[in-house]
A and B are shown apart, each in its own frame.
Chain A
Amino acid sequence: MSSQRLPSGGRINRGRPLEFFFNGRRYEGFEGDTLASGLLANGIRLFGRSFKYHRPRGLFGSGSEEPNALVQLGEGASTIPNLKATQVELFDGLSARTVVGWPSLEIDLYAINNRIGRLLPAGFYYKTFMRPRFLWDWYEGRIRHAAGLGFAPTEPDSARYDKRNAHCDVLVVGAGPTGLMAALVAGRSGARVIVADEQAEMGGDLLSSTQHVSGACPWMFLDNLVKELSLMDNVMLLPRSTVSGYYDYNFLVINQRRTDHQAGIGDIVSRERNWRVRARQVVLATGAIERGLVFADNDRPGIMLSSAVRTYINRYAVRPGRTGAVFTNNDSAYQTAVEMHGAGMEVKGVIDVRQRPSQERLLQMDTLGIPVYSGHGVGGTRSGRQGLRAVELCRLSADGRDVLTQKGSLDCQVLAISGGWNPAIHLHCQSGGRPKYDDDQACFVPDKSVQSERSAGSALGIFQLGNCLSDGVDAGVHAVRETGYACAHIDIPYASDRTGSAIEPMWNVPDGVLPGRGGKKFVDYQNDTTAADIALAAREGYRSIEHVKRYTALGFGTDQGKTGNINGLAILAQHLGQSIPATGTTTFRPNYTPVTFGAIAGRELGTVFFDPVRKTPMHDWHVAHGAVFEDVGQWKRPWYYPKGGETMESAVRRECLATRKSIGLLDASTLGKIEVRGRDSAEFLNRIYTNAWSKLEINRCRYGLMLGEDGMVMDDGVSSRLGDNHYYMTTTTGGAAHVLGWLERWHQTEWPELEVFFTSVTDRWAVASIAGPNSRSLLDRLCSDIDLSAGAFPFMSLREGSVAGISARLFRISFSGELAFEINVSADDGVALWELLMEAGGEYGITPYGTETMHVLRAEKGYVIVGQDTDGSVTPADLGMDWIVSKTKDFIGKRSLARSDMLRDSRKQLVGLVTEQPETVLPEGTQLVNEPSTDYPVPMTGHVTSSYYSSTLGHSIALALIKGGHTRMGASVYAPTLDGQCIKAIISSPVFYDPENKLHKT
């Protein structure tokens, strides 16, 4: 493998040689190389294997359009799969591997698929592995091994990723000649400009060009332009930045790669930055992508896009081979023949499907001694060990549909092909614009703008350099005027262009053999989709290009069919006997090129981002005392406090008994707390809650239910009156934010005439709830300024005073059925209060308990938890809570309670359940049936909503919603279990403990 590096030229830095590794072998390249150009310079032509047939593949393109040369870059946690070698910048020590090929690139055992390719048509996997269904998992594993691309890292990426929001007047996408001119106009006019380009260097096609601009060599012109732009404070140049998506309201996302081109800085600065830009005007100077030609065996290593050959020679000073030829249907590839010749390659000929290429081109080739085979096609290719060895010539009929005669072959290592140019209209289409077919140029171009954007230059179907430069100026002027700036003067640079590309479309090059014989004609290289696959799809009845795409995988690869899609849809159009515009394109969706998960996640990583963690003021105490936590909404709540080696069961048993016998202590800080103030507070609460609030005395509390307008229970809680126009509402822990929004919405949108204000104070208060027969005795020791006797401080009332010197608001509220006090103090005093209570309560054996014990205690009393015992289909009557529903006033949801379905006797109603075997605890959520039958389907009669073992009562208890349950006391129901058993249970009152409701009022 001799060096293919040209002795001079290119934009590489020959003073900075770099060492790199590919599939474990060491190579040398230069700063400014890509992995692709570096390997090509070392004579490497085999870059990978194809996805399905495992055919050897080489470079096809030179940028983000590359379908073949996919590599896995780096190792370990920061490895990235499926990068295009054409976009990987070389740095010292770089290491990459090919992604397809097993056990190795050179010897790929799956290449057998190529031999049996006739048996693997489009849809093969769907058709073959459908039955038996249970074997699919096994099949899938084998298919994935054979067909997989790169692998995702298995460890967390240690690199940082970030996001940045930005606004600008003009966003220029693409820094080729068009984009840079637009940026220059906008920059000189004073507009705030962002220029984003996916390449490492600004310049686009100028980087690969030898064509003079305004009399200067293109690189000198480019250097001056970029220098002027980089000195402008109002212009930001973003290289290595792909505009990956164009969304509503001129919102664009730019994905900037900041460190992958250098070794070892990934942990200092962020690896990638996700720019989220709101632009007033967008100039889409995204250029055009050359498309290939579809002919037999068109995938040999050495068959490359004509533009890529030009780029490797001019920009990277690499000769892609010793001998070459050109195959084209338009004028643009002739320049490649000129440059191959200039690079010292032996150019065997230009094969042109057109019968009459322009005289000017023929003369040019004649001068260089390059034969032109007009009216010819390539009917097949032959390969040697290192890829392409020869191409076979055919004389084509005048209409280009048939082969007239075989004309021998040309020996060549490189075939530069051009099937024409596709403007990169992706972003225009993502913005809502439509593509329009341009018959003369045989390509889709942007139709009318829908958002504030304008395509320019090649992206608009303008393919000559001089015209691109002036269209870039026009686009800049347009953007500047639209954003209200005075347009600066600018001299339009000129370039001498030959006019027109004179393209004659050739979508499927005939090879003179019967369909199904001859070589494969690849349309989509990455997915191994062939012209025959598309023909098959058409024969099988597929009509929509979207369906054909999904059936044949056309355009599904990481390159998204940038070089093959248009050829594919044109071939489909031919088979369907319809025009290309009638066939249409597939939908252009973000992202333009693949985006890493890191870039999308940014710094918003881990559980903290996906759901913020909220902790109570006493959280650290709970942690220090071994609490096991439960997530309730966003809150971390102690679930239970195991001692020694206690199981949850024994810890909960201990906590329950301690509370019932002496004192338990619960952190209730998480309950939602909303201050309601204003002249019309009482009236507002009357409308929100099912019960009446006007007559509640100051310092008294009341339990309230909120319904949705559909009559279903939405939230509950105790609210208190603190003053004439001042209420203090509590909500469920999980419902707090929703309830605040609910109050605000009704007030603002329906009853703005009511004077009422809401303030969330959930986090301002720490709440310690003491419950149990000894709680008053304990509090008596700590509280000297409140008379705690039942007469002076009755149940459902509140007092303000101090507890152990901490100013506090005390509520006599009970969620356990015991005598209980909820002590509210400032959040800052929460820990102090808690520790004082633990210390003073020592002689009573005060026991902190968590949410599990809280649940058991409240279930023993038949108190429901909204969201556990209700599910959005439960009314107050279903819960047996008619007593809380006012008959006299209106409230949200009231009318719904009178709908016929609400009055049905067979509604599911809340009841208690006691199992026949006292130790058996019903699984929560289990369905209930009336008879232990196996005559399926067994009619359901309800389900269990809460279920626990009650240590206090010595048997299990459950709450359930059962059809007509309120009138079925004493009846039996059955809970079928997963293991085929059927647990018998008896319907009872949901109040299991202290049914006379005396204890909590003592």
Chain B
Amino acid sequence: MLSIDCPWCGSRDQSEFSYGGEAHIVRPKEPEKLSDEDWGDYLFNRKNTKGRFEEQWCHTAGCRRWFNAVRDSQSYKIEAVYKIGEQSPDGIPE
């Protein structure tokens, strides 16, 4: 069981959290202007990164806040946590 540092509550067991998949996927501002393919890409296509990976987590059974984490998908180590809207440590904006 992972131990995850909630940016608001501190270190808690993984069982208090739920997983939200890849982070930094921004909803298109004007969806109607996107082609079906581009919209489908936003909707369905996700990275399957081996190694450092930015993803969303929610402290569901705690403060119920969403946040981002950088997790190594090989070692399961969570390298960093940061708030929604902040730039990732690897420089992915917002």
Contact = CB atoms under 8 A, between A and B. Distances in A.
A747 to B, nearest CB: 9
Contacts of B34: 895
Contacts of B1: 247-249, 251
A899 B58 contact: no
B56 A895 contact: no
B36 A900 contact: yes
Given A745-B20, A749-B84, A752-B85, A249 B3 contact: yes
Interface string A741-755: 100110011101000
A249 B84 contact: no
B84 to A, nearest CB: 5
A899 B66 contact: no
A896 interface: yes
Interface in B24-43: 26-28, 31-32, 34, 36, 39-40, 43
Contacts of B73: none
Nearest to B3: A249
B87 interface: no
B66 to A, nearest CB: 5
Nearest to B68: A749
Contact of A749 (B28, B31, B56): B56
Contacts of A741: 58, 60
Contacts of B20: 745, 749
B46 interface: no
A443 to B, nearest CB: 27
Contact of A249 (B2, B40, B58): B2
B65 interface: yes
B19 interface: no
A896 B84 CA distance: 26
A792 interface: no
A432 B2 CA distance: 14
A752 B56 CA distance: 15
A899 B39 contact: yes
B8 to A, nearest CB: 12
Contacts of A247: 1
A710 interface: yes
Contacts of A749: 20, 56, 66, 84
B43 A890 contact: no
A709 interface: yes
A748 B66 contact: yes
A896 B39 contact: yes
A377 to B, nearest CB: 46
A741 B27 CA distance: 18
Contacts of B75: 432, 450
B39 A895 contact: yes
B84 A748 contact: yes
A315 interface: no
A97 interface: no
A894 interface: yes
B67 to A, nearest CB: 9
B84 A752 contact: yes
Interface string A258-279: 0000000000000000000010
Interface string A705-749: 000011000000000000000000000000000000100110011
A432 B64 CA distance: 31
B31 A278 contact: no
Contact of A895 (B2, B3, B31, B60): B31
A898 interface: yes
Contact of B65 (A278, A748, A900): A748
B43 A896 contact: yes
B51 to A, nearest CB: 16
Interface residues of A, number: 23
A890 B64 contact: no
Given A896-B43, A898-B32, A899-B39, A750 B27 contact: yes
Interface string B61-86: 00011100000000110000000110
A585 B68 CA distance: 38
A323 to B, nearest CB: 53
A513 to B, nearest CB: 50
A899 B36 contact: yes
B2 A248 contact: yes
Nearest to B64: A744
A894 B31 contact: yes
Contacts of A450: 75
B80 to A, nearest CB: 15
Question: Quick one: which of A450, A752, A895 has the most chain B CB within 10 A?
Answer: A895
B63 to A, nearest CB: 11
B38 to A, nearest CB: 10
Nearest to A895: B31
Contacts of A710: 43
Given A248-B76, A710-B43, A748-B66, A278 B3 contact: yes
Nearest to A278: B3
Contacts of A900: 36
A752 B32 CA distance: 22
Contacts of A899: 36, 39-40
A890 B29 CA distance: 10
Contact of A890 (B3, B13, B32): B32
Question: Quick one: which of B26, B32, B43, B58 has the most chain A CB within 10 A?
Answer: B43
Contacts of B39: 895-896, 899
Nearest to B39: A895
A230 B64 CA distance: 42
A895 B32 contact: yes
Contacts of B85: 752
B70 to A, nearest CB: 15
Contacts of A745: 20, 58, 66
A894 B31 CA distance: 8
B76 to A, nearest CB: 5
A938 B41 CA distance: 35
A741 B65 CA distance: 10
Contacts of A890: 31-32
Nearest to B40: A899
A709 to B, nearest CB: 6
Interface string A899-913: 110000000000000
Contacts of A895: 28, 31-32, 34, 39
Contacts of A432: 75
Contacts of A752: 84-85
A996 to B, nearest CB: 37
Nearest to A737: B60
B11 to A, nearest CB: 9
Contacts of A248: 1-2, 76
Question: Quick one: which of A741, A745, A748, A900 has the most chain B CB within 10 A?
Answer: A748
Contacts of A249: 1-3
A664 to B, nearest CB: 38
A396 B37 CA distance: 74
Interface in A883-899: 890, 894-896, 898-899
B59 to A, nearest CB: 11
Interface in A747-775: 748-750, 752
Contacts of B28: 895
What 4 A-B pairs have minimum CB-CB distances, sorted nearest first? A895-B31, A249-B3, A748-B66, A251-B1
15 contacts: A247-B1, A251-B3, A278-B3, A278-B13, A450-B75, A710-B43, A744-B66, A748-B84, A749-B20, A752-B84, A752-B85, A890-B31, A895-B31, A896-B43, A899-B36
Given A709-B43, A748-B84, 17 more contacts: A248-B2, A249-B2, A249-B3, A251-B1, A251-B3, A278-B3, A709-B27, A741-B58, A745-B58, A750-B26, A752-B84, A894-B31, A895-B32, A895-B34, A896-B39, A898-B32, A899-B36
Interface of B: 1-3, 13, 20, 26-28, 31-32, 34, 36, 39-40, 43, 56, 58, 60, 64-66, 75-76, 84-85
